[in-house]
Structure 1
Amino acid sequence: MPWLTTHEALQALKTKPQTLYANVSRGRIRAKPDPADPRRSLYHAADVRRLADRHAGRRKAETVAAETIRWGDPVLSSTISTVTGGRLFYRGKDVANLAETATLEQTAALLWNGAEMPASATAAAHGPPSLQAAFLALAGRVTSDLPSLGRSPAVLRREAHGILATIADALAPGASDQPLHRRLAASWHRPEAGDCLRRALVLLADHELNASAFAARVTASSGAALSAAVLSGLATLTGPLHGAAWQSVDALIEAACTLGPAQAIRRTLAQGNRLSAFGHPLYPDGDIRALALLSQFPLPPEFAEVRERGEEIVGEKVNIDFALAAMAAAFDLPREAPIIIFSLARCTGWLAHAMEQIESGELIRPRARYTGPAPDMKSST
């Protein structure tokens, strides 16, 4: 039987209902409404068995810790954002709803528990959006900004505004009295893309304790400057398993244009490669961010074909990486547009995480579980 009732799932897991629901919200167990009674849910039997096997018997503390750091339980407490029930929330507010009207500046104010970002007092930058310029600007600040320790939340929030302005001058150059989504659209000479850019920026501002947010928190926990924490986050975001996953989506689209969508997808899977365009561990029923963005523009034909065939073959819905690549194609944005959008948006989340970590006063310092040669305790040093 591929699906289990609540009673059957609880019997297999030997746990409480709250734990079962938490596993569903974190994407570990897939669930669907019971056709016989929509008020009840059914749970994927294979997912339940996998968790039951994992939790069989008592495990050592270091084993638990090693597992939780890989798509497991949150390793840090946070009040900033969460994914639950297939929806993303910023401080309790549904992000799909927030993206209907909010700007990135307003979202930053929500994430930072502070006032909306004022207009920049610096002169507008010139030239196209540049990730390299953002790295250089942040690195320049790191050498001059004060460490974060011993400084009040209000002072850190003011500094966060300045850091966001610095990044914006590199990633969305333009008139400082304009909202960031309009600056970005104008810098690419695509004013018609403005509203979609606004939505994308809000949808991407934060996403729980992802890899780049964790990197930012580790840096901030040492007392380093806020700009250093953001620089850590930006460096982490450029990885192909994180913010640069759009490149794999583009490669899949290019292959689909040559081979056809079904053959391109099958070839990728046959080579043992992961399809970055489909699925997300936290959204078993589909990435809500992708759904919210894809509803705002006509999907280019090549993307529509890949979406249709891929969801059929893979059994997973397209994610935000696919949506960003599709939006860039739909509005004829530069090829690097997805990582520019991602970086500009997510820096607000990194700053929120950095400030929350600083306020906790805790240094993030996990222990390593050593698996190398046995130490020679008799040797002298």
Structure 2
Amino acid sequence: MANGLDDVVAAETVLSDVDGLGGRLTIRGHSLLELAGRWSFSQVVRLLLDGFFDDLPGDAELAEKIGQARGEVFARLQPMLPSLVSLDIYSAMRAGMAFLPDGDTLEDALRLIAAPAVLTPALLRLQHGQTPVPPDVRAGHAGDMLRMLNGTAASPALAGAIDTYLVTVCDHGLNASTFATRVVASTQAGLTSAILAGLGALKGPLHGGAPGPVIEMLDAIAAHGDVAGWLRDEVAGGERIMGFGHRIYRVRDPRADVLKAVVRQLGAEGQTGRRLAFAEKVEQAALEVLRVAKPSRSLQTNVEFYTALLLEAAGFPKEAFSNVFAAGRVAGWIAHAREQQATGRLIRPQSRYVGPVPDLVA
């Protein structure tokens, strides 16, 4: 039996392929490098959803519909937001999304795609005693998310950087959250039920909950003063070095290079530039420490490392990093849910009982 279902093929998909040995990510026939920074998030949403909704419009109209969905989500959920602020930001976002209709229409899908971008800024502002900022339904998705967070329009460079991030994390094979989504979708439950399953899986620190601890690690190393020494002590103590290693990739995660370039484009000087320079120093030291300490394993930089730097530079607190991850990934989940529903097959694996056997002889 494969431990953790490693190498078990549980679905056939047209959506994405993760080449762990070659370090390549393909999304519906396009390489990540072809999409990131070249296609907008709304264009990639259309790419993912193509063939799964009969009424899917063209690029321009879909971008408008996503904006309208942000406005609808805000109007629908604003009254209940004060009751959610006592929760941690991720749980509050997830709870808010649970109030959305559990249907299978394109409108249901677009509300779910819009929801993390609307709920996360609104809830963060409420938690800091500020009034939520309503969406601008005519704005781009990433830029509007930043405007709702900070109360002012984001620079084109920063809006473009977050848009590229959403594209970069939109889908990634049959990871834990996507598999959870497909399991629920296979029961023919609605999209909201399926997406809530994905959100639950994404919260875990071995999946989407990992970028926040990267910031904590960088701060701890900076306070310690000895980069390599801190890393060696952590490895010797059996601790995980956050932002390194991946279940599938045996080479460098291609998303890490995309996001590193995005952070560099935001500015070589100032706080972001200094943070990047220090992070690169930590990255090189970590790769060497891991190479020496674990020579039988390939532990390379993964998407979490530079995700942390980018989202910090954009003004998101580290506890909300997984929310922004979800803002990109929910589009992929919806496509996987619709693909699974189209097969009509309930996911029902077997288990092997290894517990005690009752004595059936009288």
Q: TM-score range by the shorter chain?
A: 0.7 to 0.9
1:356 and 1:289 map into 2 onto residues whose CA distance is 24
Find out whether 1:227 has 2:196 as its counterpart.
no
Find out whether 1:160 has 2:125 as its counterpart.
no
1:243 maps to which residue?
Answer: 208
- Do the aligned partners of 2:37 and 2:160 also contact (CA within 8 Å) in 1? no
- DSSP-derived class of the 2:138 partner: coil
TM-score normalised by structure 1 residue count? 0.73
The answer to which structure has the higher helix fraction is 2
| AA of the residue aligned to 2:262 | Q
- DSSP-derived class of the 1:213 partner: helix
Of all paired residues, the percent bearing the same amino acid is: 30
- Do the aligned partners of 1:200 and 1:293 also contact (CA within 8 Å) in 2? yes
- DSSP-derived class of the 1:372 partner: coil
Find out whether 1:81 has 2:46 as its counterpart.
no
| AA of the residue aligned to 2:40 | T
Distance 1:337 1:370, change over 3 A: same
After the TM superposition, which residues 325-340 of structure 1 pair with which residues of structure 2 at under 5 Å, given as runs? 325-340=308-323
TM-score normalised by structure 2 residue count? 0.77
Q: What do residues 113-133 of structure 1 show as CA deviations (whole Å, max 9, x unaligned)?
A: 143431315357479995344
1:328 and 1:288 map into 2 onto residues whose CA distance is 18
2:287 maps to which residue?
Answer: 311
Distance 1:123 1:349, change over 3 A: closer
Return 5+ residue gaps in structure 1 as ranges.
1-62, 149-155
1:375 and 1:77 map into 2 onto residues whose CA distance is 40
1:120 maps to which residue?
Answer: 68
1:201 to 154, 160, 166: 166
2:90 to 119, 131, 135: 131
Find out whether 1:347 has 2:330 as its counterpart.
yes
Stretch deviating more after TM superposition (315-324 or 122-131) = 122-131
- DSSP-derived class of the 1:377 partner: coil
- Do the aligned partners of 2:89 and 2:320 also contact (CA within 8 Å) in 1? no
- Do the aligned partners of 1:240 and 1:247 also contact (CA within 8 Å) in 2? no
Deviation at 1:198, TM superposition (A): 0.9
Distance 1:206 1:103, change over 3 A: same
- DSSP-derived class of the 1:177 partner: coil
1:185 to 143, 146, 157: 146
| AA of the residue aligned to 1:346 | R
Deviation at 1:330, TM superposition (A): 3.6
| Larger relative contact order, structure 1 or 2 (CA cutoff 8 Å, min sep 6) | 2
2:285 and 2:30 map into 1 onto residues whose CA distance is 34
Q: What do residues 186-214 of structure 1 show as CA deviations (whole Å, max 9, x unaligned)?
A: 23335342111111100000100000000
Find out whether 1:323 has 2:306 as its counterpart.
yes
1:180 and 1:239 map into 2 onto residues whose CA distance is 26
- Count of residues paired in the alignment: 304
Structure 1 outlier segments of 4+, above 6 Å: 126-129
1:111 to 48, 73, 80: 48
Deviation at 1:359, TM superposition (A): 0.4
2:244 to 278, 292, 296: 278
2:181 and 2:73 map into 1 onto residues whose CA distance is 27
- Do the aligned partners of 1:86 and 1:282 also contact (CA within 8 Å) in 2? no
2:232 maps to which residue?
Answer: 266
2:338 and 2:320 map into 1 onto residues whose CA distance is 28
2:5 and 2:45 map into 1 onto residues whose CA distance is 28
1:352 and 1:333 map into 2 onto residues whose CA distance is 27
Find out whether 1:363 has 2:346 as its counterpart.
yes
2:33 and 2:120 map into 1 onto residues whose CA distance is 24
| AA of the residue aligned to 2:331 | T
1:167 and 1:100 map into 2 onto residues whose CA distance is 21
> How much is the aligned-residue C-alpha RMSD, in angstroms?
2.4
- Do the aligned partners of 1:124 and 1:176 also contact (CA within 8 Å) in 2? no
